[in-house]
Chains A and B, each alone.
Chain A
């Protein structure tokens, strides 16, 4: 009896901790959601449960001529999809060369990758700024995309190369005997087999531009070129107290789809990160 009582108390304690954690997690989110439905722009008079719920802030984002929200959304999606696509192409090609061929410079190239992927891109922000300025890609989405794509090569080439190494070379040899060239072997045999790891590369490279703040804030200067992170940050800091309710509306419209994708695909994200860390 005493034992069972102790067990029950323990379970109650665990549920208690989980409930407290849930409140801590939900409170800020609920507060932001509540604010986005408040009338007016003042933070002072607004409350977590709006007195007269309204969609005016959401409407403002899409209809007001002052609002650049749709442009920012579009820019972010352009940068995300293009850099995701280019990343897959560049990374898989490089990884294929590293995994399947012996050539002069292969080993030193791999060690260079290992070293390069350790440096945060931010370390070289002055240089990136001056370089993009020099070739006229400052303040363009293309410049931003090129940096994302180039920056991810060292890490992801290792990741994909590690995965390719686990696929038996007998498959390649068999195809070679049947007369397949290296391009056909890659596209028709290996590519389908490495889709799980390429999906992870695609996912992380699609998400990075949505989350990133520092690079776009260095490279993009026009309001019409901003991505969501930079756009919303500048929007809030411009007129803090009077823009915040509109900001929450804009933030909710990003957070909901992204959170849905993350929760739906969480297994892939986590296995991707652990693959990078342990299986490489």
Chain B
């Protein structure tokens, strides 16, 4: 009976700011002040273990990423950069855990001040398990993501600001930070800016022309086959979807042989019938480009055909009947009913088509290796940005330039993706909640 007022007094004097301050000083101290002994000890052990295990590594990493090494042959700049990035990632995770620790200490101290009763141990453990469950679920995926996506991305971004190439390759030489020099060189130094402008403009032409053609052909055929008077719809649709069902590396390599200048069937058989001289499909950039676009349309239209067919079947007949009553022509019906409906329903997917072709490495590389080669340039006549990056990386070892161009690709892709994602449902839901 006597204890009641005394403990009530103790609640009121419990200070959240002190708990917070203690937890800032050293993780877990605030929890000890809150008398959550187990939790406090766990936090202290985690922080001690962290300091003991990672202190040296992070010290080396931070020094490494700042200097990229000082003694050639002894310091390996690239490994130092890797250590540095890993250190930054580890520090970020540690900071997150620290913030959780501080918030936890403060929140619990506030609860104690407001007269909260500590649950029995079993209850507390169960609660802790429930609270940490989502983290347990996402940790495996998160760790994999860090190593496979986040770390490589940070590394690639860093490389764009170094001079890592054949002449600055460790362990023989050191790599240095060069700021925006690579980007400046890309647009000012003649050997780079000629290739860059040529490749960039072809990449854009390629993306726009091939994607638009494949969308156009897909829509055209979908509308034709959807006509009431056409029979054998299932068979026709299966045939038209066929190119999409075959792995595209197989078809691209078959086409590469079909278009071969000397023994390809296009030159020998098809043009032979038409009495046209063989055309330099693989040796003249212009013809290679024509061939690439035709092949991509062949490969790409079936998916869009299937997609549009699905959408067309979902348009209600009422709108068309109303148009018939008003005496609308077929073109008007297509222009004002079909087209808006189809485009609205598929817009994000159409944007994906453009992004996919923008980075369509397979067709460029497998058809003709980005060639024909151009004298004095690292980029071939039909290289797009992504296949040029591949060549710069694995053929000429211009890692820094490859990384800088990758970064430009990334920025362009993000702009595309932004428009695509503004329309998706879960994104909207998330925004509505907040």
Contact A211 B265 (CB under 8 A): no
Interface assignment of A184: CB less than 8 Å from any CB of chain B: no
Interface assignment of B279: CB less than 8 Å from any CB of chain A: no
- The distance from the CB of B193 to the nearest CB of chain A, in whole angstroms, is 22
Q: 0/1 per residue, A135-153, Cβ < 8 Å to B?
A: 0000000000011011101
Given A158-B426, A251-B254, A262-B245, A126:B348 Cβ within 8 A? no
B141's contact among A44, A153, A213, A254, by CB below 8 Å, is which?
Answer: A153
Contact B137 A153 (CB under 8 A): no
Interface positions of A from 141 to 184, Cβ below 8 Å from B: 146-147, 149-151, 153-154, 157-158, 161-162, 165, 182
Chosen A-B contacts, 15 in total, with CB atoms closer than 8 Å, are: A14-B227, A22-B239, A22-B240, A25-B242, A25-B298, A103-B131, A119-B410, A119-B414, A120-B409, A165-B426, A214-B365, A254-B250, A255-B246, A274-B307, A278-B349
Q: Closest residue to B362 on the A side, CB-wise?
A: A213
Could you tell me the distance between the alpha carbons of A229 and B366 in the complex, rounded to whole angstroms? 10
Interface assignment of A85: CB less than 8 Å from any CB of chain B: no
Interface assignment of B276: CB less than 8 Å from any CB of chain A: no
- The distance from the CB of A195 to the nearest CB of chain B, in whole angstroms, is 19
Interface assignment of B117: CB less than 8 Å from any CB of chain A: no
Given A116-B153, A151-B148, A28:B230 Cβ within 8 A? no
Contact B153 A123 (CB under 8 A): yes
Contact A120 B386 (CB under 8 A): yes
B153's contact among A107, A119, A277, by CB below 8 Å, is which?
Answer: A119
Interface assignment of B224: CB less than 8 Å from any CB of chain A: yes
Contact B149 A150 (CB under 8 A): yes
* Smallest CB-CB A-B distances: 10 pairs: A150-B148, A124-B152, A262-B245, A127-B152, A101-B134, A280-B424, A127-B155, A162-B426, A118-B417, A97-B137
Could you tell me the distance between the alpha carbons of A66 and B221 in the complex, rounded to whole angstroms? 45
Chain A CB within 10 Å, residue with most, of B135, B148, B236:
B148
Contact B265 A31 (CB under 8 A): yes
Contact A182 B130 (CB under 8 A): yes
Q: Closest residue to B400 on the A side, CB-wise?
A: A126
Contact A109 B138 (CB under 8 A): yes
Could you tell me the distance between the alpha carbons of A149 and B15 in the complex, rounded to whole angstroms? 47
The interface residues of chain A lying within 8 Å CB-to-CB of B229 are 7, 10-11, 14
Contact A123 B406 (CB under 8 A): yes
Could you tell me the distance between the alpha carbons of A262 and B429 in the complex, rounded to whole angstroms? 32
Could you tell me the distance between the alpha carbons of A43 and B257 in the complex, rounded to whole angstroms? 9
Interface assignment of B167: CB less than 8 Å from any CB of chain A: no
The interface residues of chain B lying within 8 Å CB-to-CB of A82 are none
Interface assignment of A55: CB less than 8 Å from any CB of chain B: no
Q: Closest residue to A273 on the B side, CB-wise?
A: B349
A101's contact among B133, B230, B403, B413, by CB below 8 Å, is which?
Answer: B133
Interface assignment of B225: CB less than 8 Å from any CB of chain A: yes
Stretch with Cβ within 8 A of B (4 or more), from A56-64, A67-75, A88-96, A198-206: A88-96
Interface assignment of A125: CB less than 8 Å from any CB of chain B: yes
A259's contact among B246, B263, B298, by CB below 8 Å, is which?
Answer: B246
Residues of A in contact with B (beta carbons under 8 Å apart):
7, 10-11, 14-15, 17-18, 21-22, 24-26, 28-29, 31-32, 43-44, 48, 90-91, 93-94, 96-98, 100-101, 103-107, 109-110, 114-116, 118-128, 130-131, 134, 146-147, 149-151, 153-154, 157-158, 161-162, 165, 182, 210-211, 213-214, 218, 229, 232-233, 236, 241, 244, 247-248, 251, 254-255, 258-259, 262-263, 266, 270, 273-274, 277-280
Contact A97 B134 (CB under 8 A): yes
A103's contact among B135, B417, B426, by CB below 8 Å, is which?
Answer: B135
The interface residues of chain B lying within 8 Å CB-to-CB of A123 are 153, 156, 389, 406-407, 409-410
Contact B137 A93 (CB under 8 A): yes
Q: Closest residue to A125 on the B side, CB-wise?
A: B393
Interface assignment of B202: CB less than 8 Å from any CB of chain A: no
The interface residues of chain A lying within 8 Å CB-to-CB of B246 are 29, 255, 258-259, 262
Contact B225 A31 (CB under 8 A): no
Interface positions of B from 237 to 283, Cβ below 8 Å from A: 238-251, 253-255, 257-258, 260, 263, 265
The interface residues of chain A lying within 8 Å CB-to-CB of B230 are 11, 14-15
In the complex, besides A25-B242, A254-B247, A274-B349, 4 extra interface pairs with C-beta distance below 8 angstroms are: A109-B138, A114-B427, A130-B82, A165-B429
- The distance from the CB of B327 to the nearest CB of chain A, in whole angstroms, is 15
The interface residues of chain A lying within 8 Å CB-to-CB of B135 are 97, 103
Contact A122 B389 (CB under 8 A): yes
